[in-house]
Chain A
Amino acid sequence: MKGVGIVSYGAYVPHFRIVPDEIGKVWGVDGKAMGKGLMISSKSVPAPDEDTITISVEAARNMMSRCDVDPKDIGALYVGSESHPYAVKPSGAIVAEAIEAAPDLTVADFEFACKAGTAAMQACMGLVGAGMVKYAVAIGADTSQGAPGDALEYSASAGGAAFLIGAEKVIATIDDTYSYTTDTPDFWRREGQLYPRHGGRFTGEPAYFKHVISGGKMLLERTGMSPEDYTYAVFHQPNGKFPTRAAKQLGFSAEQIKASLLVPQIGNTYSGAVPLGLAAILDEAKPGDRIFAVAYGSGAGSDAFDITVTDEMATFKREAAPTLNELMANPKYLDYATYAKFKGVIAKERD
């Protein structure tokens, strides 16, 4: 797997936001306190004409505009999400057409709760490392669902990032990856159901923390690295508290996760969370920087990555697409009624 890594990347976050106070007012809950507890001051909301496919396309186009790779050289494209617009019809086929990578490639949609995007990255690493394809695209994107009035409604948001994986002109090598998986029923959505169910506090210790800490520790053991060897770290961020605590438990400082902690501004982007955090790190990383990443998906598993930024970053066309800071700037805030309309919770009767 030597030399395989990220050749380019791109991100996308919708323009609209809602604040926890606005949600709390409707349900008789102290939204400000809820937001403080979750460390979320606002969450992104997809426009009515946005979904996982449009978010993936925007992120993938930003990725392609930062490199000179011919889209016809892309041999695989995987979209990881738990909100694919179709139950049957691949999101990836539309994305592949939209970046002109079709038809000579393999495409599939991935699902593993919030870590489907990083699972796609691992599959891409394998295909490139084995020499089966020259380039592969891994996307993590979601327009996540939280039932009205449920605790998830304060955090479930939308966004995504795309990574071009290859072995030439790599801006960041992925030196190692490790996954930790068990059958843990902390969060699920049954076929045909609009909203997921979750195990409340059960989503913490036996789920998120067990898998993130185990995945992180095993990767550190395999690589022989220490937390202080890394410039940056990114952890799955369903809220602000969990990644902050996981970082501390593994020995990482608040400074190391500062660049990747996007959840206070945009909420939990599910499959987009670690990909977007990683994109935010790549927005400012310099050659030689080391990045530690652990994604988490309910059900449950973690994917951990050891990444090194290469000298190619010095000449990378980062400015050819918007950075996370630019994407998150100047959002439009919605009231709850407009938010509910955008999410399809309230609808006008048709004639």
Chain B
Amino acid sequence: MATAPRFWRENPSRYNMVGFKCNSCGKFYFPPRIICPLCHRKSVGKTEPVKMKGTGAIFSFTEIHEGMDEHNVQKPYIVAMVELDEGVKVTGQVIDCDVCDLSIGTRVRATLRKLSEEGSAGVIHYGYKFVPVRENGERPGDE
């Protein structure tokens, strides 16, 4: 069972996709890390937190029919690996669409939704999910 403080520590990443950039090699990482896994010691003192734009393309996706209890209401739901424009791959739920609306390469953007609730009396956890967009900002299927 998750606890409120554990989620709270990750709020900058969950709300605003704050990741990490290594200024030694120039690579972006998400979620943030302490040191760059490529540059190791060379990255010490050369890293900075960076907010990802939240836009990217679907690298791969699947439709989940037997998932977690807390997602019962949304079954079947779609989970995708999204390659963000910064080059980082992130896993997240894709919402407000049907699986037939999506293909590898579909453009998506991050939005804030409820991720889970600790029961009816517990804390509500919010974080990023992805919605599909067309280049002109409309949703797939819009005519």
Residues of A within 8 A of B (CB): 15, 47-51, 53-54, 57-58, 85-86, 94, 97-98, 100, 322, 326, 329-330, 332, 341-342, 344, 347-348, 350-351
Contact between chains at B142 and A330 (CB < 8 Å): yes
In the docked arrangement, what's the CA distance between A98 and B112, Å? 8
In the docked arrangement, what's the CA distance between A276 and B74, Å? 27
- The size bracket of the interface on B is 20 to 34
Within 8 A of A (CB), among B40-81: 51, 69, 72-74
CB distance from A143 to the nearest CB of B (A): 11
Contact between chains at A15 and B96 (CB < 8 Å): yes
Known: A58-B111, A85-B124, A329-B142. A98 touches B74 (CB 8 A): no
In the docked arrangement, what's the CA distance between A40 and B73, Å? 27
| Residue B114 interfacial (CB < 8 Å) | yes
Contact between chains at A348 and B113 (CB < 8 Å): no
Contact between chains at B114 and A330 (CB < 8 Å): no
Contact between chains at B113 and A97 (CB < 8 Å): no
Contact between chains at B112 and A58 (CB < 8 Å): yes
Contacts A322-B137, A341-B73, A348-B72 given; 10 further ones with Cβ under 8 A? A15-B139, A48-B114, A51-B124, A54-B111, A54-B114, A86-B124, A97-B16, A326-B138, A329-B139, A330-B143
Known: A97-B11, A329-B138, A329-B142. A50 touches B113 (CB 8 A): yes
Known: A100-B16, A322-B137. A49 touches B129 (CB 8 A): yes
CB distance from B120 to the nearest CB of A (A): 10
Contact between chains at A98 and B15 (CB < 8 Å): yes
Known: A49-B129, A51-B114, A330-B142. A350 touches B137 (CB 8 A): no
Within 8 A of A (CB), among B71-129: 72-74, 95-96, 111-115, 124, 126, 129
Q: Which 6 pairs, one residue from A and one from B, show the smallest C-beta to C-beta distance?
A: A49-B113, A15-B96, A49-B114, A48-B73, A330-B142, A57-B112
In the docked arrangement, what's the CA distance between A94 and B16, Å? 11
| Residue B37 interfacial (CB < 8 Å) | no
Contact between chains at B139 and A330 (CB < 8 Å): yes
Contact between chains at A49 and B74 (CB < 8 Å): yes
13 contacts between A and B (CB under 8 A): A15-B96, A47-B74, A47-B95, A48-B73, A50-B113, A54-B111, A54-B113, A57-B112, A58-B111, A100-B16, A100-B51, A326-B137, A332-B96
When C-beta atoms are compared, the residue in chain A nearest to B143 turns out to be: A330
Chain B residues whose C-beta falls within 8 Å of the C-beta of A342 in the assembled complex: 73
When C-beta atoms are compared, the residue in chain A nearest to B74 turns out to be: A48
